[in-house]
Structure 1
Amino acid sequence: MNYEDVTWAPICAGLTAVGVIAAFFAFRRRGAAAGLRLLGWAVLPMAIFLTGMVKLLWTIGTALVQWVSGFIFSPVAWTGVALFGMAAILLPVAAVLRRRRAAAGAAETATGERVAPAPSTKPVDADGQAAKPAKDPGKPKAVGKGKAKQDDPLAEFEDIDEILKRRGIS
């Protein structure tokens, strides 16, 4: 047994003893689930001591405290935090802009030529009259059995609606 064992043994044993007593009272007052949960937490200090993890956890804890205290009082570290924040804003904005540019480029290459802005005057045909705009070949024609079916998108649900009304649901 070295010096560190002598120091940590009573601390871990004491924490475990207090936890076991608290688990006993929790078992009596709040039931088995609360008592067993508290007993599970209570045996952890002795488990840590017996496995030799006390020194590891102490080293990690002190390193973490030193890093946090150095971080909080360091203007250089806060400058780094500000730069992280700026990057968190700039990268998504750049991705959105890139997607928009790619979508515009895809529209240009689909037609095979660059899209020119619309002229301010209406085009005229050979007779000097206003030319009729050409139909857009990219839009498919609506296919339907009748005019009523095309106008009313819910027309195909009439049978279902009738069944529901018969059953008194709707």
Structure 2
Amino acid sequence: MIAETVCSAVSAAGLGIAAVTAYRKRFLRAARIAAYSLVPIGLVLTGVVQWVADTAFSPTAWAGVALLGAAWLIFAGTRAVERRGGGTRKERKAARAARREALAPEASAPSLGQGSRPAARPAPASRATDPADDFSDIEAILKKHGI
């Protein structure tokens, strides 16, 4: 009963503020205030306020909220353990093997035929140690852009 009275008072005050705002020639703002002020009385008339009030003071409802919270904590806890690598020993071993296969260099190398491995490439020729040669490509890029 008191919740409905409070909501009605809030709606009445909001409509009063909307009227004052409209009197000041701010019609768009007044329309928004009126819309917001009609929400509490609409909730009272639909019965939502009574339902919320009954739920807020019901020990059974709070027990249900506590059970939902406990379920959420269990879900979150099992998810965290799963992310840290939990699970059975077989699952961890299979995951480790899958990771090893994914990182194998043969898997990413192009196929060259049966049983053939590419010969080791010779080491690239080392660049000259002259500092002017080290920046020659940078200078060329700068000159290309007119800098």
Scaled by the length of structure 1, the TM-score of the pair is 0.42
Q: Which has the higher contact order (CA 8 A, sep 6+)?
A: 2
Scaled by the length of structure 2, the TM-score of the pair is 0.46
Compare CA radii of gyration and give the structure with the larger one: 1
